[in-house]
Amino acid sequence: MSSSAATYARENHPRFLEELKTLLRIPSVSTLPENATDCRRAAELLVTELRRIGFDNVRLIETEGHPLVYADWLHATNKPTVLCYGHYDVQPADPLDEWNTPPFEPTERNGNIYARGAVDDKGQVWAQVKALESLLATKRALPLNVRVLFEGEEEVGGEGIAAFVASKSPLLQADFALVSDTELFAPGLPTLCVGLRGMIYTEIEVRGAKTDLHSGMYGGAAPNAFVSLAQILSRLKDEDGRILIPGFYDDIIPPSAAELAAWRSLPFDEEQYRIAEVGSKKLVGEPGYTVLERTWARPTLDVHGIPGGFIGAGAKTVIPAKAQAKVSMRLVPGMTPAKAFAQYKNFVQQIAPAGVDIEVRLIHSGAPCLIPVDNPYIQAATRALHEVWGRDTVFIRSGGSIPIVGDFAKHLNLPSVMMGFGLPDDNIHAPNEKFNLKNFELGIQSLIRFLEEVGS
């Protein structure tokens, strides 16, 4: 019962993979100014390809940052319209010396393709494009109306797409969004993500003395910005991982009893997760919650780096005048970025030690979101996935943040179908990021079947 599009995709798979490698070779790291032209090259590659496979209105839409890629095909009268979303930008590749093969030289190994962006999100963007190509090439038409919107700033907060979505452009009129930036819960287990954490990403800056001072001469009298910063950071969370910001947990809407019961039946072993994925001596986190609850349905706070001071090799005996910390918090349904940031900022100023000046900055934020599972697009997706994978779909949440899903709901009133084909051990945002080759292939099949199902 395989469609002609599905057959086309299988027959052309080797070419699809080579094309993906071309996209992966472009170091489109959105946070690094030196990679700005690479981001544009990645966008232009997508424009060229969307034109080639038969889309109309293909164009770059300029933003304050990296451009959006837009295209549409709107000839399916009386059919619904899907807005296909993905991102062509990637995280920085550092630390480079921990990659087994270079991050921008895609390499096949053990049934995977290794590269920065392999699964987050270029591989999934390419799966969408190749599903659309397969449908157009075999039927000369699509089973529904399609708009494509890819962005290049997902890893740096997505301000450009957020502004464009907030503008409610007519180019975005659709019935639902198809977001390909998530993962399967386990190999072979078809998965739809129906909840995402939000986030606030912040910087704390601490200033002590007016200039760097000699720690011999001044040590014992001059405030040390790093010591003060460590004191602040240590007061944000207790040792179990409970966040100490007053009121931070007050507005949380907990998962339903049914959702919690479904999570308990998922194939998940906390000890296995600790050993195979995290690799630490012990897991941390709030007592009384399972790992899935802690990562899907509870807020958290992480420190990403502490710039400033002396970080070279060897020794420098300086009392640094200032220190910074990059700190983010993940938010869950019920919480809002504005309120969470206000609570955090007030608390940091309250707990700051004497003798130093403090500044707390918001770098970017995104709201948490929950998708109702009874909408027709989610239902169509579960039918399509069952055909391709031969199993019932599991509904999960993700601890990550895809702020655009919240924006689609808020500004365009679009529900999102988050159908993604990554795996939990794909090392996204870390060295040796990979995409399973079988998942790339079945992902394309699933997307073809889903679009056919919605259009039928």
Nearer to its own copies, 265 or 280 (CB): 280
Residue bearing tokens 């004191």: 231
Rounded to an integer, what distance in angstroms lies between the CA atom of residue 223 and that of residue 354?
Answer: 9
Contact, 27 vs 116, CB < 8 A? yes
Tokens, residue 424 = 């939990």
Beta bridge partners of 398: 196
Among candidate residues 38, 49, 72, 89, the one labeled active-site is 89
Nearer to its own copies, 56 or 277 (CB): 277
Element housing 85 (H / E): strand 81-87
As measured in angstroms, the least distance from the Cβ of 361 to its own copies is 11
Amino acid code (one letter) for 252? I
Rounded to an integer, what distance in angstroms lies between the CA atom of residue 380 and that of residue 450?
Answer: 7
Rounded to an integer, what distance in angstroms lies between the CA atom of residue 129 and that of residue 176?
Answer: 18
Active site includes 392?
Answer: no
As measured in angstroms, the least distance from the Cβ of 377 to its own copies is 24
As measured in angstroms, the least distance from the Cβ of 11 to its own copies is 35
Residues 6+ apart with CB under 8 A from 269: none
Rounded to an integer, what distance in angstroms lies between the CA atom of residue 285 and that of residue 396?
Answer: 20
As measured in angstroms, the least distance from the Cβ of 368 to its own copies is 11
Among candidate residues 72, 153, 154, 183, the one labeled active-site is 154
Contact, 129 vs 178, CB < 8 A? no
Nearer to its own copies, 217 or 338 (CB): 217
* DSSP letters spanning 314-325: S---EE-SEEEE
As measured in angstroms, the least distance from the Cβ of 120 to its own copies is 8
Nearer to its own copies, 186 or 217 (CB): 217
Please state, as a whole number, how many other Cβ atoms lie within 10 Å of the Cβ of residue 313.
Answer: 6
3-state secondary structure of 330: strand
Nearer to its own copies, 393 or 398 (CB): 398
* DSSP letters spanning 389-424: HSSPPEEEEESS--HHHHHHHHHH---EEE---B-T
As measured in angstroms, the least distance from the Cβ of 13 to its own copies is 28
Tokens, residue 396 = 């999960």
Nearer to its own copies, 141 or 363 (CB): 363
Burial 434-452 (b: 16+ CB within 10 A, else e): bbbbebbbbbbbbbbbbbb
Residue bearing tokens 């579960």: 382
Between strands 357-366 and 68-73, the pairing is unpaired
Active site includes 181?
Answer: no
Nearer to its own copies, 136 or 352 (CB): 352
As measured in angstroms, the least distance from the Cβ of 430 to its own copies is 4
Please classify residue 351 by burial: count the beta carbons closer than 10 Å to its beta carbon, then call 0-12 exposed, 13-18 middle and 19+ buried.
middle
As measured in angstroms, the least distance from the Cβ of 320 to its own copies is 7
Q: Which residues are catalytic?
A: 89, 154
